[in-house]
């Protein structure tokens, strides 16, 4: 095929980018070379619209072993142990083909983790769908959930937590973000930096097919009415092969054969080989005739751009080929020496005894485009004034029932019951709590993880929303007794070529950065997903935060279910009565305007650290952060989970009962303590300048506000648990 500007544009490149390629090469690229450039320079691989702003994120900390730039981030959890973790998007493929899109998203993120020498110990996910009334939502939800469960369950890795939301902005673009945690010894971490000359380059895993070609490029473009035509760009996964690949790689990693290793993920053999060469400032020579292919007459272009799953690229120590081959033969996996490292600093491809591509590595990586796109700054919306007449005929019981059955609040048991969350035998807090928790096998340590997002807050004011999701993650970890260590992020936005969308991205990143710096909660890995839009209609800005924390003694872990009658319930943190953008405002008052709640980072840090100290000293029996729906929503879920009622005291506040019980002020927790510890706990809170309200006492099987307002726990459980089950029938 003759390459020209038109062909380049069909590959997703801009006219000016094509000109730059020709200038860098001092010639016109051939079709294989053009394909390689299109893969490496697309948004998904090059981060060309986001790199400039991602530099603002804090990435270093006392516990950080590896920050962004590798397959995944790594943190120190003491005793020679480390946790490898990352979250990544598979949005576009999942919308086109929900089962395989979600399944291969899970498979891909697990490969990112075990590529670094870590055995995966836990999966999480953040999935977002259109309105429950939309014709596609139910089938998309079913396909995605089955895909996540199908792959993770077959791999034997527990899914310990997640988040699911519904919003009409996702009607044309669902979001599927997958997160994996792996455990590794600090002295056995593997990296992707190639080193040494004439070292053998090894292909292992499954054979290469034509599935997934242009997958990364497809993920860097908006959808249109021809979406069905994009199905061939969705990869097809095989979890049983990945399980074999995992075991074979870990077996080889037990020795000293590997110099560098890289997953063949987005852009397949192209990105894996080029990234390894770039990091090592070397060249790589590949003989494409030696690449194991499952389809006949595959071209160099197809071999290099295929995104077939369950494949790895390895640079081995010389003379270790036979040893490595024996291991992969044992696991019935393909093994082939396909090339070598060179000092040319070029990627050189040969096929049928001819050179079919020769590209300087730096033109693909260091010289890739980086844009400082125009962006529009958002204004903080004006506050709404709640009129007393709007609240006159509203009954708390009715509010409670309606909000507990809301699709974004209701129990997601139908989803997580399809995931195996107990396999490996170390899950000590299953999905449905503030964080999932897994024990570090054979120790008293445990690792907590949570995923969070708030598209509503980020849409209302991106900077504040960015801060909020970091704080939400912080609170969810603290609520189970974990000390927050680090975060990974998946930043899901519309087209960066639109000033408004780019502004949402920039300000969210700045908000995330501000909160992460203040809380000493660094970002160690992540992913950016742009172009989440169909026919110019984009999603609400949806940055997702995956937080990881350490519990030094898992016996001190806290759950959210209320424990014993007679215990006292405290609300930690000041309730100011912020109703705007709350679930109450949107579902009860039908008010969708106004600012999100303010974030006070001092209070977030101080309140959280104080709660942790109380947990460490074993004063807190149960805990739950106050988030979506406010205090009463949090109390209701704690009652339902613990099957214990509460007698609620009239709050000592000038706020109305609706503002007090349903506002979404940040930095707050609900905690349960023994009556005998009340004085000690409140004195400690006062000493640390932490505001608290005594809200009630655990008693019976109902939520009791006064003699007129009594709501049985069983009734609340029915409202909370039935919506999703009934919807999916």
Residue with tokens 């994996």: 180
Catalytic residue among 44, 214, 461, 624: 44
Nearest CA among 463, 494, 496, 460 for reference residue 374: 496
Query: Residue 40: which H helix or E strand, with range?
Result: helix 31-40
3-class DSSP state of 16: helix
The CA-CA-CA angle for residues 559, 563, 566, to 5°, reads 145
Here the tokens at position 665 are 């002020």
CB atoms within 10 A of CB 706: 9
Residue with tokens 């079913």: 142
Nearest CA among 288, 413, 284 for reference residue 359: 284
Is 463 an active-site residue? no
3-class DSSP state of 422: coil
Q: For residues 173 and 712, give the distance between their C-alpha atoms in angstroms, rounded to a whole number.
A: 39
CB atoms within 10 A of CB 191: 22
Cβ-contact 312, 264 below 8 angstroms: yes
Q: For residues 658 and 660, give the distance between their C-alpha atoms in angstroms, rounded to a whole number.
A: 5
Helices (H), 205-355: 215-218, 239-253, 268-280, 300-305, 321-330
Catalytic residue among 53, 90, 92, 624: 90
Q: For residues 204 and 201, give the distance between their C-alpha atoms in angstroms, rounded to a whole number.
A: 10
Cβ-contact 350, 333 below 8 angstroms: no
Residue with tokens 């002295």: 187
The radius of gyration of the chain's CA atoms, rounded to the nearest angstrom, is: 26
Is 421 an active-site residue? no
**From edge to edge, which strands make up the β-sheet containing 346-351?**
258-263, 311-316, 200-205, 334-342, 283-287, 346-351, 354-360
The DSSP line for 339-382 is EEEESS-EEEEEETTEEEEEEEHHHHTTTS-----------PPP
Cβ-contact 561, 434 below 8 angstroms: no
3-class DSSP state of 476: helix
Q: Exposed, middle or buried, 343 (CB in 10 Å: 0-12/13-18/19+)?
A: exposed
**CA 522 → CA 59, 185, 486, 597, distances in Å?**
5, 21, 5, 23
Q: For residues 189 and 447, give the distance between their C-alpha atoms in angstroms, rounded to a whole number.
A: 19
Here the tokens at position 244 are 């074999």
Nearest CA among 37, 12, 11 for reference residue 22: 37
Q: Which residues are the active-site residues? A: 44, 90
């Amino acid at each position: 095929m003759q390459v020209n500007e038109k062909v380049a544009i069909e590959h997703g490149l801009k006219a000016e980018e094509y000109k730059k390629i020709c200038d860098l090469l001092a010639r016109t690229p051939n079709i294989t070379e053009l394909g390689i450039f299109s893969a490496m320079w697309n948004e998904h691989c090059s981060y060309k619209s986001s790199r400039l702003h991602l530099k603002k994120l804090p990435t270093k900390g006392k516990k950080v072993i590896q920050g962004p730039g590798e397959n995944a981030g790594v943190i120190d959890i003491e005793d020679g142990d480390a946790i490898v973790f990352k979250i990544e998007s598979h949005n576009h493929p999942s919308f086109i083909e929900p089962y395989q899109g979600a399944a291969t998203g899970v498979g891909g993120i697990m490969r990112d983790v075990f590529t670094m020498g870590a055995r995966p110990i836990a999966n999480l996910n953040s999935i977002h769908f259109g309105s429950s009334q939309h014709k596609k939502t139910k089938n998309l939800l079913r396909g995605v959930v089955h895909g996540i469960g199908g792959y993770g369950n077959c791999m034997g890795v527990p899914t310990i937590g997640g988040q699911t939301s519904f919003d009409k902005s996702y009607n044309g673009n669902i979001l599927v973000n997958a997160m994996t945690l792996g455990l590794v010894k600090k002295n056995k971490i593997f990296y992707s930096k190639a080193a040494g000359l004439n070292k053998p380059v090894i292909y292992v895993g499954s054979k290469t097919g034509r599935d997934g070609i242009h997958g990364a490029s497809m993920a860097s473009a908006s959808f249109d009415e021809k979406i069905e035509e994009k199905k061939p760009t969705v990869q097809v996964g095989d979890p049983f092969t990945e399980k074999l690949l995992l075991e074979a790689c870990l077996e080889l990693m037990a020795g000293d054969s590997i110099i560098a290793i890289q997953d063949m993920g987005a852009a397949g053999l192209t990105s894996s080989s080029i990234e390894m060469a770039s990091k090592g400032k070397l060249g790589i020579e590949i003989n494409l005739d030696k690449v194991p292919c499952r389809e006949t007459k595959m071209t160099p272009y197809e071999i290099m751009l295929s995104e077939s799953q369950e494949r790895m690229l390895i640079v081995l120590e010389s003379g270790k080929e036979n040893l490595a081959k024996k291991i992969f033969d044992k696991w019935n996996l393909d093994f082939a020496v396909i090339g070598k490292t060179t000092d040319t600093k070029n990627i050189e491809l040969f096929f049928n005894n001819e050179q079919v591509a020769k590209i300087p590595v730096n033109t693909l990586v260091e010289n890739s485009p980086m844009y400082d796109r125009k962006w529009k700054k958002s204004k903080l919306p004006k506050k709404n004034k709640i009129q007393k007449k709007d609240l006159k005929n509203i009954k708390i019981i009715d509010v409670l029932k309606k909000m507990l059955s809301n699709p974004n609040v209701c129990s997601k048991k139908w989803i997580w019951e399809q995931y195996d969350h107990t396999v490996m035998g170390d899950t000590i807090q299953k999905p449905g709590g503030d964080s999932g928790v897994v024990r570090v096998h054979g120790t008293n340590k445990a690792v907590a993880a949570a995923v969070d997002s708030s598209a509503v807050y980020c849409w209302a004011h991106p900077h504040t929303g960015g801060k909020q999701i970091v704080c939400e993650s912080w609170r969810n970890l603290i609520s189970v007794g974990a000390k927050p260590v680090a975060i990974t992020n998946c930043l899901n936005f519309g087209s960066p070529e639109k000033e408004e969308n780019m502004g949402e991205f920039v300000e969210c990143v700045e908000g995330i950065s501000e909160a992460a710096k203040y809380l000493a909660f660094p970002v160690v890995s992540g992913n950016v997903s742009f172009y989440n839009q169909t026919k110019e209609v984009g999603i609400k800005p949806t940055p997702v935060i995956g937080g990881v924390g350490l519990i030094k003694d898992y016996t001190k872990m806290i759950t959210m279910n209320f424990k014993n009658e007679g215990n006292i319930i405290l609300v930690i943190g000041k309730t100011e009565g912020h109703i705007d953008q709350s679930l109450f405002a949107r579902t009860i008052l039908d008010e969708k305007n106004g600012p999100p709640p303010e974030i006070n980072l001092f209070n977030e840090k101080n309140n959280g650290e104080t709660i942790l100290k109380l947990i460490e000293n074993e004063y807190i029996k149960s805990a739950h952060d106050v988030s979506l729906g406010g205090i009463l929503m949090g109390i209701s879920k704690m009652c339902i989970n613990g099957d214990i009622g509460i007698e609620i005291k009239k709050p000592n506040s000038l706020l109305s009962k609706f503002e007090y019980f349903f506002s979404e002020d940040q930095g707050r927790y609900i905690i349960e303590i023994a009556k005998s510890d009340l004085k000690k706990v409140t004195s400690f809170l006062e000493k640390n300048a932490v505001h608290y309200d005594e809200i009630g006492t655990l008693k019976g099987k109902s939520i009791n506000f006064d003699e007129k307002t009594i709501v049985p726990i069983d009734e609340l459980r029915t409202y909370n648990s039935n919506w999703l089950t009934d919807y999916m029938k």
